[in-house]
Structure 1
Amino acid sequence: MRNLLFLMAMLFWSFYNSPNIFAQDIHFSSIHASPVHLNPAMTGMFNGGNTRFIGISRSQWNTFTNGFKTISGSIDTKLLHAGSDAFFGGGLQLFTDKAGDLDFKSTFVGGSMSFVKGLSRKSNNYIALGVQAAYYGNSFDQTKMVGFDEETSILFGDVASNINYFDLSVGVGWYYTFNDDNYYYLGASMFHINTPNVSFFDTFNSNQSQANLPGHNLFRKLTIHGGANLRMADNITIQPSFIFFDQGPHREINAGSYFKIQKQKRHRRQTQEYAFYFGAWVRFYQEANYSGIDAVIPSIRADFNNTTISLSFDVNISDLRVVSAGAGGPELSVIKVLGSSNPSRKKSRVKCPGF
């Protein structure tokens, strides 16, 4: 197992240090509202059932510009149990994102696979490996290029209104559970291993070398994330978490915590748990020549009947607040976990962390 961990670390390091060029991904403020988008190793990593549905709607900076509008949906499941302490997971994710005066649109369809395996006989220490293959489509409305220099096509050549490309990503995760109420988890993922070409330029003027143009390959993105669930009292739990992004010249850290108040209720001889959360995260950023705090993100959440609903709002506190009036934008997510009547699946001892 040590050799496996060492191999994964070396793979991440080699992918990360290879040269690549410009671009940056979309992301969500609610750190674990879209686990498969965060790390393919988290595919199928949930409790309370065998299939998880997730829907997310996010808008940003619409108060002062034609900002981002993102809709995402995913489904993941435990495909196959490999003994009592391991399983294979599979998932499918889709999202569409639209922004800007040219209606720049990104569409994503991805499939992911994971393998979760226990590392101890006590079934409290686990490692997860995951891979994701995806197909992207980017487009913009050329009819809205009013006022742009007509010589743009002479300089750069023909500009396509849409492009499509394949993308490959990997992830690894680890978690340790003391009991149902206390556990830790840590993960890392590397996206865009193949650094796909995302340029809209089909041809180039003979007087302009392609090598002198801005880079048009997508940066590889390193993501490191982690957190814990710590029971403080009978009905009080804290859930600190963080996420770190590194993509080209862009670095970002989100850190904060939920405070969870939970209550149990007997219904038809079964115990049902209801929970309410409130908390906040702070988003730090670092660019090539400047850094600072971009936003504070308050969030509320409710759990009931294997359903999770969360709402967060980005409050800009950086210089951007001058034009945004502090209103970054809202994000709403809904998660539903469905159970299974298959008795063989209930024999698994795998206990996943809750996010």
Structure 2
Amino acid sequence: MITGSCFKRSIAGFILMLSLLTAKGQDLHFSQFFEAPLLRNPSLAGIYTGDYRIQGVYRDQWNSVTNAYKTGSLNAEIKMPLGTGNDFITTGLQALFDKAGTVGLTTTHILPAFNYHKSLSNEKTMYLSLGFMGGLIRKSIDLTKVTTDNQYSGGGYDPTLPTGETMLSPNYSTWDASVGMSFNTTFGADQQNSMFIGAAYHHLNRPKNSFYHNRSIELNPKYVGSIGVKWSLDEVSSLTLQADHSIQGNYTETIGGFLYSYKLAYDLDNNPTYILSGGLLLRWKDALVPVVKIEWGHLSTALSYDVNVSQLKTASMGRGGFELSLCYIGFLHHDNSAQYKMLCPKF
């Protein structure tokens, strides 16, 4: 006999399975999208105050319903000035890992990136950046956990029966490429405010996307538009607004929100040593995402939680996923370090 709780869990799992099937054309994504800049747009590499940046994001989603998503991102970037002018280049690496579902669908990306920042002004920070990213994607599944209609007989499910999926491969590899452009600048009194706007074209080579060696099945190109503005409200507080809109095949996603930041303490050089931020993001027709972030010195960490507001909210009981991010930005202290540059790409 199926109990009420088991029945609800079965229904929830069934609804989730349908959502996974209908979302098969979409890329992996994070609610803390601002902590995975290369996944937004490869030209956003190097848009920070420092010589190098290391960022990581981990997402654990849908465990309230079933074992669905565990996603991790790690990116590292280093900026290098060109000559005696204000131009820069950035080299970086984006790694992405995801594991989902009962069959353990595992996806791994290893994507080197390169970005060129062209200075447009000698009076203030103003840059046009062009970025490229490309590398290897590998996907795998656990065939021992795959069940099909062929394994059901008159007596019910029989795991000893063949699945009938003779063409199904447990893994495959493919190549991926993306390109993006962005503009960033400072504005306002004493150039205390900053902003950027950018556009990216992902999967421009249309990588294959099939475990059946069917080359006609490709990953849809994705177009992403991004914008961010940071206002200095006074000497101790600021407001940051960021948003992304993406289109991939028949699917669209819009996410955006704000972070209010307050400087809690300063060092002897009057640089803020602790900054506390809090805010709210909205993934349109999907989730509300409260965020809290703390920065101390060169290190920062943020925690967020998705509150589901989509059609799955009944099955998920409003639960979504936790995300935890960690970021370190540092200086190399060489003669051409961004630390000593009045003008450098930053946000």
Q: Which amino acid aligns with 1:311?
A: L
Q: 1:153, 1:79 → 2: CA distance?
A: 54
Aligned equivalents of 1:146 and 1:332: distance in 2? 34
Distance 1:176 1:271 in 2: 22
Give the CA deviation at 1:274.
Answer: 2.1
Which sits farther off after the overlay, 271-280 or 93-102?
Answer: 271-280
1:241-260 superposed matches below 5 A:
241-260=242-261
Q: Show the counterpart of 1:99.
A: 100
The aligned residue for residue 191 of structure 1 is 202
Residue 168 of structure 2 corresponds to residue 159 of structure 1: yes
Structure 2 contact 148–163 (Cα < 8 Å) conserved: no
Q: CA deviation at 1:278?
A: 0.6
Post-superposition offset of 1:153: 7.0
The separation in 2 between residues aligned to 1:96 and 1:158, in whole angstroms, is: 25
Question: Structure 1 residues 180, 63: CA separation in 2 closer, same or farther (over 3 Å shift)?
Answer: farther
In structure 2, distance between residues paired with 1:243 and 1:82: 34
The answer to whether residue 293 in structure 2 is matched with residue 301 in structure 1 is yes
How high is the sequence identity, in percent, across the aligned residues? Answer: 27
2:346 corresponds in structure 1 to 353
Aligned to 1:35: 37
Gaps of 5+ in 1: 1-21, 204-209, 285-292
**SS of the residue 1:255 aligns to:** strand
Determine if the alignment matches structure 1 residue 58 to structure 2 residue 28: no
Q: Is the 8 A contact 2:202 2:221 kept in 1?
A: yes
TM-score using structure 2 length = 0.85
**1:338 correspondence with 2:330:** yes
In structure 2, the gaps of 5 or more residues are 1-23, 152-160
- Quote the Cα distance in structure 1 between the aligned partners of 2:230 and 2:80: 26
Instruction: Work out the CA distance in 2 between the residues paired with 1:121 and 1:341.
Output: 23
SS at match of 1:322: helix
Q: Which amino acid aligns with 2:294?
A: A
Give the conservation status (yes or no) of the 8 Å contact 1:39–1:172. yes
Aligned pairs for 1:272-291 within 5 A: 272-284=272-284
1:234-280 alpha-carbon deviations (Å, 9 max, x no partner): 2221111111010001101012111111144133x563442111100
SS of the residue 2:267 aligns to: strand
Q: 2: distance between equivalents of 1:101 and 1:266? A: 51
2:16 counterpart residue number: none
Mapping 1:108-127, distance limit 5 Å: 108-127=109-128
Q: Number of aligned pairs?
A: 312
How far apart in 2 are the matches of 1:107 and 1:320?
27
**Aligned mate of 2:180, from 171, 175, 178:** 171
Map residues 214-229 of structure 1 onto 2, 5 A cutoff.
216-229=217-230
Q: CA deviation digits over 1:93-136, x for unaligned, max 9?
A: 21210001110000010100001111122133211000001200
User: 1:279-321 CA deviation, whole Å, 9 max, x = no partner?
Assistant: 001111xxxxxxxx11101101011111111111110011211
Q: Deviations over 1:21-65 (max 9, x none)?
A: x72210110121011221111112211x31111111111111101
